[in-house]
Amino acid sequence: MALLDVQNLTFSYPDSSASALREVNLHIEPGEFVVICGRSGCGKSTLIRQFKSTLTPHGTRTGEIFYKGTPLHQVDLRTQAGEIGFVMQNPQQQLVTDKVWHEMAFGLENLGLELGDMRLRVAEMASYFGLQGWLDRKVEELSGGEQQLLNLASVMAMHPQVLVLDEPTSQLDPMAATDFLHTLQRLNQQLGLTVVVVEHRLDQVFPMADRVVVLEEGKVLCDGSPRQVGQALAHHPLGVCCPVPMQIYSRVEGGEACPMTVKEGRTWLEQYRDKPQPPMEPHAQPAPRDFALEAREVWFRYDRHGADVLQGLNLQVPRGQLYALMGGNGGGKTTALSLFSGEHRPYRGQIRIGGQVRKRGMSLERGVLGVLPQNPQCLFVQDTVGADLEELLDELPLSRTERENRLAQAIRVTQLEGLLGQHPYDLSGGEQQRAALAKVLLLDPEILLLDEPTKGLDGCYKQTLAQVLRALTGQGKTVFMVSHDVEFCAAYAHTCGLLFRGQLVCQKPARDFFLGNHFYTTAANQMAREVFPQAVTVEDVVWACTQDK
């Protein structure tokens, strides 16, 4: 008997004519790991919110959902609360109480458990998730990844039969996201827990999943094993979210024996070993002499007695390029950005902006620098995107036509046309980011500073962002970004730098940068390293494979 059985489910929101879900059929067996994916607005969240009566949005519904054979609305709320665990997107906003131990016990208190039982369950879950050391801490002291792990642990303490997660990693940095997904996999494999997860990091969840369900416009587009779905998605916009080996395979030959991991991909690529290798076109760039941003022997620390975060940083950002500064957590990337933006000042060394030494009190208003904060949502102050943009323009000393030109240009570059009437908080992560970017662009900055711009974006939004950034560098603007996202930087950045312990250990044009690295490199490069040593991106490998076919 299926654990969750969705039969002919159609759902529409009260004030909309189109159905959010149409004739959805889905059977989830006990112990399955099911990934639900689709582009934003396809009804993923609407669907999984039907799995729990208290979270179901208002609207008209036909069809039925069965939980262990009983219609869900007849299952009492206590059983639902305990047995169907639900983890949402935003780690912070799900936390109810102030202390870690209280948060873990919150659900158990609601179920009315005895103190002894609660102690045991909290102890079990804290040990399983390795939270023993934090129990006495305040929840706000935890990082985003730790908070989401706490949310998971608090739901797990209620001993659910099925775990439903709504984009749990979209607010996390890549390392924390990987950790979180591996924890899910561990729960699934060690405890046999049924997991239903909405996720856009398909490259990471595909190897874990038993089944993948793709939704499009409220309908099930395909439902099958990851390999089958990978094939089906080959020419779909969602294809760019699939694991890199899958993308390459489906574009080179296509078929059933699709590789999912780098390991499988290497084995498959062996057949191309003896193929005569066409020489890669050299990406010769003239050595740039004009630098938009420059750090010379910069030293910085936050505390007088603290450790140095930057230790003699030397960094040059050529004008008109997209520069990506990479490196692990705590390496000083964001600190370097804050020195360029003027939020902090180095205690030794120079920061040069456009060739001039930054002096105290030089503000952003001169139209040289634009900074996009890591959380773009913080930038909005009005009820609609359009009003938000116009409101900023009102205070700039510009003529009417100039204003209209700037507004039109910013909207065009960031592809915001259809979104101007919406509330900024209702936009998806990628749309919010573009709206925020448009706001920064209204100031017409020469140099843009971006902090983790791809955080939480799915593959489609990343492509759009890349187009936007391309358009900007095409206009001669300089973009400096701090990022963890190897694939994105490899595909779109001009120059990459690697920061480690406060020093720049490597700074090269993107291709040379990734060819020179062994571990800190793209999946495509890791996969094709032996066969095509010059290939860095998916495009490169596909090109090399299909050269003389």
Partner 1 sequence: MKDEFSRCHPGINFIFYLLVLGVTLFYIHPVLLVLSGVTAAAYLFRLRGGKGLVQVCLLALPVVVLSAVINPLFSHQGLTILGYLPSGNPVTLESVVYGLCTGGMMGVVILWCATWQDVMTEDKVVYLFGKGFPALALIFSMVLRFLPLFLTQAKRVMAAQRCVGRDVGEGTPWQRLKKGVRVLSILVTWSLEHSVDTADSMRARGYGLRGRTLYHPFRWDGRSTALASGMAMCFGCVAAGVVTGQLNMLYFPVWQLNGTTVPACVCYALYGVLCALPLILNLVEDLKWRYWMCKI
Residues that bind partner 1 (CB under 8 A): 52, 54-55, 77-78, 81-82, 86, 88, 90, 92-99, 101-102, 105-115, 118-119, 122, 135, 138-140, 151, 154-155, 158, 341, 343, 363-365, 370-373, 375, 377-383, 392, 395, 425, 439-440, 442-443
Query: Nearer to partner 1 by C-beta: 341 or 521?
Result: 341
Query: Nearer to partner 1 by C-beta: 114 or 281?
Result: 114
Query: Nearer to partner 1 by C-beta: 7 or 97?
Result: 97
CB of 395 to partner 1, least distance (A): 8
Query: Nearer to partner 1 by C-beta: 135 or 280?
Result: 135
CB of 442 to partner 1, least distance (A): 8
Query: Nearer to partner 1 by C-beta: 101 or 500?
Result: 101
Structure tokens given for 157:
């303490």
CB of 111 to partner 1, least distance (A): 6
- What residues contact 404, with CB distance under 8 A and at least 6 apart? none
Q: Cβ(496)–Cβ(513) under 8 Å?
A: yes
CB of 199 to partner 1, least distance (A): 19
Query: Nearer to partner 1 by C-beta: 409 or 534?
Result: 409
CB of 101 to partner 1, least distance (A): 5
Three-state secondary structure readout of 393-417: HHCCCCCHHHHHHHHHHHHHHCCCH
Q: Cβ(233)–Cβ(239) under 8 Å?
A: yes
CB of 152 to partner 1, least distance (A): 12
The number of angstroms, rounded, from the C-alpha of 518 to the middle of its chain's C-alpha atoms is 24
CB of 92 to partner 1, least distance (A): 7
Distances in whole angstroms, Cα of residue 419 to Cα of each of 176, 237, 526: 31, 21, 39
Query: Nearer to partner 1 by C-beta: 449 or 523?
Result: 449
AA letter at 364: L
Query: Nearer to partner 1 by C-beta: 86 or 514?
Result: 86
CB of 119 to partner 1, least distance (A): 8
AA letter at 197: V
Structure tokens given for 299:
């030293």
Structure tokens given for 112:
């009315």
Query: Nearer to partner 1 by C-beta: 136 or 548?
Result: 136
d(CA 385, CA 438): 10
CB of 294 to partner 1, least distance (A): 21
Residue with tokens 């997660």: 165
d(CA 241, CA 204): 10
**CB count, 10 Å around CB of 191?**
13
CB of 383 to partner 1, least distance (A): 8
**CB count, 10 Å around CB of 92?**
13
- What residues contact 516, with CB distance under 8 A and at least 6 apart? 506, 508
Q: Where are the beta strands (DSSP E) in 29-155?
A: 33-37, 60-67, 70-71, 84-87
Sheet-wide strand order for 162-166: 84-87, 162-166, 194-198, 33-37, 211-216, 219-224
CB of 189 to partner 1, least distance (A): 25
DSSP string, 80-95: HHHHEEEE-S-HHHH-
Q: Cβ(410)–Cβ(389) under 8 Å?
A: yes
Query: Nearer to partner 1 by C-beta: 252 or 387?
Result: 387
- What residues contact 137, with CB distance under 8 A and at least 6 apart? 99, 100
Query: Nearer to partner 1 by C-beta: 263 or 423?
Result: 423
AA letter at 95: L
**CB count, 10 Å around CB of 187?**
20
